[in-house]
Structure formats: structure tokens, C-alpha cells
Amino acid sequence: MEFLEFEGKTTEEAIEHACEHFQQPPDNLEIEIISVGSPGIFGLGSRKARIRAALRSGPELPETAAGDEEVVSRGRDLLSRLLALMGESAAVQAALEGDRLALTIDSADAGLLIGKQGQTLEALQYLLTKILAKQSKKKLRVVIDIESYRARHEQALVQLALKSGDKVKRTGKPVTLTPMNPHDRRIIHLALQGDSELKTMSRGEGLYKKVVVYPAKKKESPDNSPAA
């Protein structure tokens, strides 16, 4: 198996470059994280994310779905290995709740593992979801958390949505938020969907789009459905 190195501003972008090179989806690649990268301060000292990738040589999956205990153990072990490859010493706890595999990281470097706007945590969650999807027939929704970041982040997004809504009502002008991933955009849409005075829409291309909050009385644009 021949590994090649790829770079990107984020781990996800580096993976996209690998997929483009091999003309394969992530599921068909063996991926190792070399560096998660860093945005630096005011653009200074930034470091690109780096990964190693290679085509899978063949199927590695058992023919039967893993039991719940095995899924929990496998998820915990895989995340621990990913963290070790990143040079991070951390303890991982795992629990299976229906189709939701909840993994909690206990580390002294919580800020580093969360990353800017949670990008490092999202990259870890993305990789683990893809790996487990190939190793088990049980459909799983993987959620990785550290120091209750998910709950705090969701609360902050709800407050941002309400504050933006109040500004739109006060000024009568639309408010455009910074680009967000689908999960975060959904939180914004849901936080304001019960307000009859407001409308929301996603605008942009690619994974990260902007959410626009605007008065409901204005004429709606054709693409104003709450895209996630």
C-alpha cells in the first residue's frame, strides 16, 4: 500500500485533495493524520493540515455486524489511536445510545483538540464516522465531545440567532452570519423558525454557507428554503 501526503487549510480540505487525486470517496482510502494544522494569529505562524492517504487494498470488514459492546470498544480504541497519532495524551469514554455513539475526550489540551470554531473536533468526528461505517453494518451517528463543548457551542449559536433576530426586527434589514457547517446552520434555522416576523435562508456554495436572517414581510427569494 503506497501512501501519499496531502495538505490543506483544514484536515477536511486535505482529505478532499486526496479524494480528488485518487478519484475515490473517503471510504475507499486509508487516511492517517500527520498534522491538524493551525490558523496562527492574524495569519502569522499558520500551519497547514497534512495527511497521508492510500487506496484500500481490499475489504477489511467482518461479514456480520459487530455487537454493541464491540462497537463501543472499537470506537473508543480508534479515537484513542487517532489522538495518539496526533501526539495527544487523552482518555476516551464511550457509550452507545441507540444509533448514537457518544465519545468523550478528557485531555489537558481541550482548546487544541476543539480547534478554531470546532474544526479539529469536527475533523476527528468525520474520520471516525467514516472508519466505523466501513467496519460495522450497524448505522451509527458518531458524536465526539470534550469539556461539554457541544452543549456550550449550541447554546452560543442559539443566543447568536436570537440576537440577530432582534437586530433584524429593530432595523428592518437582513443580517448575514459568518459561514457555518450544516449542523450549525440547522441550529440557527430551528432557533428562529417559530418567529413569524423572521425568515432564514442559507446562501453560498460548498459545505460552509452563510445564514441570512431577514424580515418575513419582505419578498422571499426563490432559494430561501432553510438548506442544511
pLDDT given for residue 174 in this prediction: 95
- Per the CB < 8 A criterion, the answer to whether 75 and 128 are in contact is yes
Please give the grid coordinates belonging to residue 128. Answer: 471516525
Q: 183, exposed or middle or buried, with CB in 10 Å at 0-12, 13-18, 19+?
A: middle
pLDDT given for residue 133 in this prediction: 80
pLDDT given for residue 1 in this prediction: 55
pLDDT given for residue 206 in this prediction: 81
| Torsion sign, CA atoms 48, 20, 61, 75 | positive
Amino acid 146 reads I
User: Which residues, 6+ apart, have CB-to-CB distance to 62 below 8 Å?
Assistant: 135
Q: 20, exposed or middle or buried, with CB in 10 Å at 0-12, 13-18, 19+?
A: exposed
pLDDT given for residue 35 in this prediction: 78
Please say whether the structural domain 151-215 has been given the CATH code 3.40.710.10.
Answer: no
- Distance (Å, whole) CA 170 – CA 164: 10
pLDDT given for residue 173 in this prediction: 94
pLDDT given for residue 178 in this prediction: 92
* Residue numbers of the chain with a pLDDT score lower than 50: 59-66, 219-222
Residues 31-45 as b or e (16 or more Cβ within 10 Å = b): bebbebbebeeeeee
Provide the CATH number for the domain formed by 60-147 in this structure: 3.30.300.20
pLDDT given for residue 137 in this prediction: 64
